[in-house]
Amino acid sequence: MIRFKFLLSAQLSAMALCCTLLQAKGCSAQPQGQVQETTKPSGTAQTSLPSNAVKSELSGSSKDSSSKDSSSKDSFSKDSSSNVTCKTADVERIKSLLQEASLLKQKPESWMLWFGKKFVGVPYVGGTLDAAKEEKLVVNTSELDCTTYVEIVTALTRTIEKGRTDFADFCEELKHVRYIGGDIAYEKRQHYFTAWINDNAEEGIVTDIQQNPPFTKVQHISVNWMTTHTSSYKMLNGNASRLKGIKALEQSINGKSYRYIPKESIVDNSLFRKTIHDGDIIVIITSKKGLDTTHIGLASWHKDGLHLLNASSIHKKVIDEPMTLRTYMMKHPSQIGIRVCRVK
């Protein structure tokens, strides 16, 4: 019992430190929602649509932790003075991964792929960012969708590349990866992945790969999904201020054009292996009206070609997709090609 109290105290201290650091940066917190269009293995493509109301909630418990057995599930910590929502198990998992990485005698060729594989088997759950009444920096490593998976792996990579292993440092990276300017607010969360790429490129977090060839076609952005489906978004419905912010987000990317690789052009050759590296972020773009992308994951080269390491709504977990990316995409007419960005 003494050992448990000591460990719990240490865990809470780490979380408090992270929250203190984030507050010192002047972060605000506002509510949000994120849609994941789940699909069946038989056909429909999985998608990372802009967020919508949650079906699986982060349950913030106010019960005294001392009343729980140490083997019970941790409730999500929701300190009203904090901008971070997480479980003590998440704190420990992040710290453990960073510590393990720091002790490696040889650095892997791709930290993104190394960290990405550490989450294989974690259940797919959509909407984990959207349950709270106020926007928080959610760290949930036990339930992932395609976006939160890539964001957590990116933040881990950025943290270890800077030689840091603290949970607070990870949180600092994650808020800049997830939010425009690192400002924790519903309107600042990058609901459209085009905005995600743009902001993270501006912050020096990723490089947007656009070379031609093999990026031979151009996508012209015209998004309005969130502002034309407000009833699907509990944080937007009836909230003029947030709606204005999302309209501004859509307008910030509308009219812009970006190069992409058509899905029929994805092949296994020297050009592609030189252009797309293990651990690069693969962004599947769509022809669906009002949207820019439908799914994201990490590049994973196999002997038979390029595969996608991703949090899959089809397989209901994080998986290195058995099919090649080309084979997978050819099954889905609305998926027209891929964009690629690389974490620096």
Domain range spanning residue 242? 17-57+80-343
Whether 216 is in a domain gets the answer yes
Domain count for the chain, please give it: 1
Which pair of structure tokens corresponds to residue 283? 């962004």
Q: Identify whether 320 is part of a domain.
A: yes
Q: At what angle do helices 167-178 and 88-102 cross, to 10 degrees?
A: 100
Whether the Cβ atoms of residue 323 and residue 303 lie closer than 8 Å to each other: no
Distance, CA of 264 to chain centre: 27
Q: Give the pLDDT confidence of 293-330 residue by residue, as tens digits.
A: 999 999 999 999 999 999 999 999 999 999 999 999 99
Gap between the Cα atoms of 46 and 229, Å rounded: 19
Lowest mean pLDDT among 30-39, 78-87, 132-141, 172-181: 30-39
Mean pLDDT across 172-190: 96
Asked if residue 68 belongs to a domain, the reply is no
Q: What is the 3-state secondary structure (H, E, C) of the chain?
A: CHHHHHHHHHHHHHHHHHHHHHHHCCCCCCCCCCCCECCCCCCCCCECCCCCCCCCCCCECCCCHHHCCCCCCCCEECCCCCCEEECHHHHHHHHHHHHHHHCCCCCCCCHHHHHHHCCCCCEECCCCCCCCCCCCEEECCCCECHHHHHHHHHHHHHHHHCCCCCHHHHHHHHHHHHEHHHCCCHHHECCCHHHHHHHHHHCCCEEEECCCCCCCEEEECCECCCCCCHHHCCCCCCCHHHHHHHHHHHHHHCCCEEEEEEHHHCCCCHHHHHHCCCCCEEEEEECCCECCEEEEEEEEEECCEEEEEEEECCCCEEEECCCCHHHHHHCCCCEEEEEEEEEC
Cross-strand partners of 261: 338
Instruction: Count other Cβ atoms within 10 Å, centred on residue 104.
Output: 11
Yes or no: say if 30 and 183 are a contact pair by the CB < 8 Å rule: no
State yes or no: pLDDT of 2 exceeds 80.
no
> pLDDT-derived band of residue 73, with 50, 70 and 90 as boundaries?
very low
Q: Can you give the pLDDT at residue 152? A: 98
The answer to whether position 184 is within a domain reads yes
Mean pLDDT of 134-142: 94
The predicted pLDDT at position 247 comes to 97
How many CA atoms are closer than 13 Å to the CA of 151, on its beta-carbon side? 29
CATH code assigned at 100: 1.10.3670.10
Domain-embedded: residue 222? yes
More confident residue, 119 or 52: 119
Q: What residue type is assigned to position 156 of the chain?
A: L
- For residue 260, which phi and psi values (nearest 5 degrees)? -145, 165
Cα(196)–Cα(296) distance, rounded to whole angstroms?
Answer: 12
Q: Is residue 62 a part of any domain in this protein?
A: no
Task: Specify burial of residue 6 (Cβ count, 10 A radius: 0-12, 13-18, 19+).
Answer: exposed
By the 8 A CB rule, do 197 and 206 touch? yes
Instruction: Count CB-CB contacts under 10 A for residue 93.
Output: 20
Q: Is residue 63 part of a domain?
A: no
Please give the Cα distance from 222 to 20 (Å, whole number): 39
List, in order, residues 6 or more apart from 163 with CB less than 8 Å away.
102
Q: Write down the residue that tokens 């003029």 correspond to.
A: 240
pLDDT at residue 55, as a whole number: 30
Give a yes or no: residue 146 inside a domain.
Answer: yes
pLDDT at position 54 is 27
Region of poorest pLDDT, from 5-14, 30-39, 289-298: 30-39
CA gap 98, 96 in Å, rounded: 5
